[in-house]
Amino acid sequence: MKIAIVEDDIELNRLISKILQERNHQTVSFYNGEEVLNSNEKFDLYLIDINLPKINGLEVIDLIKGNIIVISANTNGKIIDTAYNKGVIDYIKKPFVKEELLHKINKIFPKEIDFYGYILKPSERILIKDKIIILTKSELEFLKLFINKKFVTLEEIYNKIQKNNNALYVFLSKLKKKTGIEFENIKGSGYQIKV
């Protein structure tokens, strides 16, 4: 999983990054609100402090679309309430122990996902049905787009795996041969899984 860590405390940012990388997550560190908002990268999860320099965490949350967990020393009830009302998934109060962070993340992103009759294990990059299929990073990112939905737009696909139309066709042909999953093109607007 690709996780953005938006935390101005350099040591804490590094520690969180180390904890997550040990669990095979990919992390990118940001040290103020402006940096993460200027980034064109897409993330599966954002860990955001409230008291950030330049642009505070609540403003960042307003402008980011995605899964967000707040990690903050701010225990003001109104701030916590505001964060939840803005759609954050969880609010972790500092100081915290690493087990708390990992449990919160695993609750959002389970280790095993029922994927159209297959078992998908994102952290291990494998797909299981009768046999174990080892996925490339691009294959995993593509399949993750279809978690909980059968149809994905071309824009979402191109943003996630950055392939042009011809390369995407070849990619999908190889993925079908490898996994047995068939992806149907819907009027040039996107793809759906045929089940």
Q: How far is CA 50 from the centre of its chain?
A: 20
User: Using 50, 70 and 90 to split pLDDT, how confident is the model at 187?
Assistant: confident
- Whether 44 has a pLDDT exceeding 90, the answer reads no
> What is the reported pLDDT for 110?
67
Q: Are 175 and 139 in contact (CB under 8 A)?
A: yes
Show the domains of the chain with their CATH numbers: 2-108 (3.40.50.2300), 116-194 (1.10.10.10)
pLDDT digits 0-9 by tens, 70-116: 999 999 999 999 999 988 999 999 999 999 999 898 887 767 888 99
When pLDDT is averaged across residues 129-133 and rounded to a whole number, the result is 92
When pLDDT is averaged across residues 3-11 and rounded to a whole number, the result is 96
- Give every CB contact of residue 144 below 8 A, 6+ residues apart in sequence: 44, 122, 160
The overall average pLDDT reported for the chain is 90
Q: What span, in angstroms and rounded, lies between the C-alpha atoms of 48 and 127?
A: 31
